[in-house]
């Protein structure tokens, strides 16, 4: 099973408000989001995690070093884990809490049963994260892993004073607590290391960690690169809030999509899309096809039409559209999908339902892979709660 180790974390000094120096993950930030955060505080993490300029990666490395020298960032005195809790209200209006632990997870070879991907990844056009890791020699944002170890959540209950807590713009309360008691550190390490870890979010970051590990091994100086910064929570329903990632289509219009999809789905007019669409999709057991005019159609899967396809809307769409040429992009949030359609960024969209916990468990148990962008775990972890250097 994969090693899970404490490390000497690097953190913002105590008087800096985590709400103004941390940020959502780099891959959910637009250019405007990045600029707004950069203007909000000179030490906001986007200055190093989403660098800009003529030589952005060298600039990020220089700034990271400057912040360390100036005491903006401070290294923990001893190896520790970081408990990370998020309290929020989910899409159904229920109050929820998810808790995980941030540590250094072993970087294993592709195909290992110890750390498992749960979906196929889309290709990345750049080596952005790899170049940033090479330059800064640091893990700046964590991979999100799901442990198959039952009762892990019980071991992560708060026992000390929080190091920091704040409420973000979406109403999510983020709280971190350092765990450096040797007995508790050993207990958490043993629990996480006793079962496989399923990657929930951050497949590309984990792949980058593997490439970086191999580069450091080749140079003979890769000790710290054998592990990577990872948040691990238990794979249990009350710890997970999963949203859908909807599909945006180009090079194929609504009429052509309706014709192809009618072989696999019952297609019924749904009128103009409104705020009740997600609840109605759940009630009907349907997907929803949306035109640029925001007129829409229910897509209700036909029994037996999909052969051996899994109980996933993303899998059903792959089956239904495999014989027609199309370009697909991915977007979470119904409002965001509608904006893309209104502005002509897509010719059509299909809203899908969130992936169920049973399918995630099946993925882990049967070593299967879902189609790309099948899950969107929420809320998102903030980048900047703790960093990990890769100096050895």
Q: Is 356 helix (H, G, I), strand (E, B) or coil?
A: coil
Nearest to 119 by CA among 363, 378, 381, 380: 363
Phi, psi dihedrals of residue 260, rounded to the nearest 5°: -70, -45
pLDDT score at 128: 92
Q: 50 near 59, Cβ under 8 Å?
A: no
Q: 101 near 83, Cβ under 8 Å?
A: yes
Is residue 18 predicted with pLDDT exceeding 80? yes
Express each pLDDT in 370-392 by its tens digit. 777 777 778 999 999 999 999 87
Q: 264 near 320, Cβ under 8 Å?
A: yes
Is there a single domain that holds both residue 185 and residue 272?
A: no
Q: CB-based contacts of 235: which residues, under 8 Å, 6+ apart?
A: 146, 147, 148, 198, 360, 361, 364
In a domain, 362, yes or no: no
Domain count, the chain: 2
Is residue 124 predicted with pLDDT exceeding 60? no
Express each pLDDT in 180-228 by its tens digit. 999 999 999 999 999 999 998 888 899 999 999 999 999 998 799 999 9
Is there a single domain that holds both residue 190 and residue 233?
A: yes
pLDDT score at 356: 77
Over residues 275-279, mean pLDDT? 90
In a domain, 164, yes or no: yes
pLDDT score at 359: 77
Is residue 312 predicted with pLDDT exceeding 60? yes
Instruction: Indicate which CATH number applies to the domain containing 284.
Output: 3.30.1760.10
Look at 356 and 121; give whichever has higher pLDDT: 356
Q: Which domain holds residue 299?
A: 245-353
Nearest to 119 by CA among 318, 335, 382: 318
Is there a single domain that holds both residue 234 and residue 259?
A: no
Q: Return the structure tokens found at 117.
A: 């991907």
Quote the mean pLDDT of the chain. Answer: 92
Rounded Cα distance between 209 and 193, Å, is 19
Helix pair 128-136, 56-70: axis angle to 10 deg? 40
Is residue 51 predicted with pLDDT exceeding 80? yes
Is there a single domain that holds both residue 220 and residue 253?
A: no
Is there a single domain that holds both residue 198 and residue 303?
A: no
Is there a single domain that holds both residue 293 and residue 187?
A: no
Q: Is 357 helix (H, G, I), strand (E, B) or coil?
A: helix
pLDDT band, residue 118 (cuts 50/70/90): low
Is there a single domain that holds both residue 317 and residue 208?
A: no
């Amino acid at each position: 099973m994969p090693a899970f180790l404490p490390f000497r974390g690097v953190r913002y000094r105590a008087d800096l408000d985590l709400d103004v120096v941390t940020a959502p993950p780099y891959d959910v930030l637009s250019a405007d989001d990045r600029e707004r955060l950069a203007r909000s505080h000179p030490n906001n993490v986007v200055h190093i995690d989403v660098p800009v300029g003529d030589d952005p990666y060298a600039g990020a490395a220089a700034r990271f070093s400057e912040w360390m020298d100036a005491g903006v960032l401070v290294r923990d005195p001893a190896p520790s884990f970081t408990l990370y809790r998020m309290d929020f209200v989910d899409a159904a209006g229920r109050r929820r809490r998810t808790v995980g632990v941030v540590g250094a997870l072993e970087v294993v070879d592709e195909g290992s049963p110890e750390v498992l991907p749960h979906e196929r990844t889309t290709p990345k056009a750049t080596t952005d994260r790899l170049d940033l890791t090479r330059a800064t020699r640091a893990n700046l944002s964590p991979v999100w892993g799901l442990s198959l170890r039952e009762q892990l959540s019980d071991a992560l209950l708060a026992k000390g004073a929080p190091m920091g807590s704040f409420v973000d713009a979406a109403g999510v309360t983020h709280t971190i607590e350092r765990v450096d008691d040797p007995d508790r550190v050993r207990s958490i390490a043993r629990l996480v290391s006793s079962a496989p870890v399923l990657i929930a979010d951050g497949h590309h970051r984990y792949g980058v960690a593997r490439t970086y590990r191999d580069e450091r091994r080749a140079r003979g100086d890769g000790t710290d690169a054998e592990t990577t910064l990872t948040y691990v929570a238990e794979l249990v329903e009350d710890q997970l809030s999963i949203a859908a990632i909807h599909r945006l289509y180009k090079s194929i219009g609504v009429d052509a999509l309706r014709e192809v999809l009618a072989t696999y789905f019952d297609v019924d007019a749904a009128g103009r899309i409104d705020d009740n669409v997600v609840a109605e999709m759940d009630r009907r057991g349907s997907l929803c096809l949306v035109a640029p005019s925001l007129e829409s159609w229910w897509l209700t899967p036909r029994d037996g039409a999909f052969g051996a396809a899994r109980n996933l809307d993303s899998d059903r769409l792959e089956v239904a559209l495999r014989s027609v040429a199309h370009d697909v992009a991915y977007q979470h949030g119904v409002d965001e999908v509608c904006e893309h359609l209104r502005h002509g960024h897509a010719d059509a969209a299909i809203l899908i339902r969130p992936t169920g916990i049973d399918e995630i468990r099946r993925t882990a148990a049967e070593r299967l892979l879902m189609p790309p962008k099948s899950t969107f775990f929420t809320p998102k972890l903030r980048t900047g709660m703790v960093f990990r250097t890769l100096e050895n």
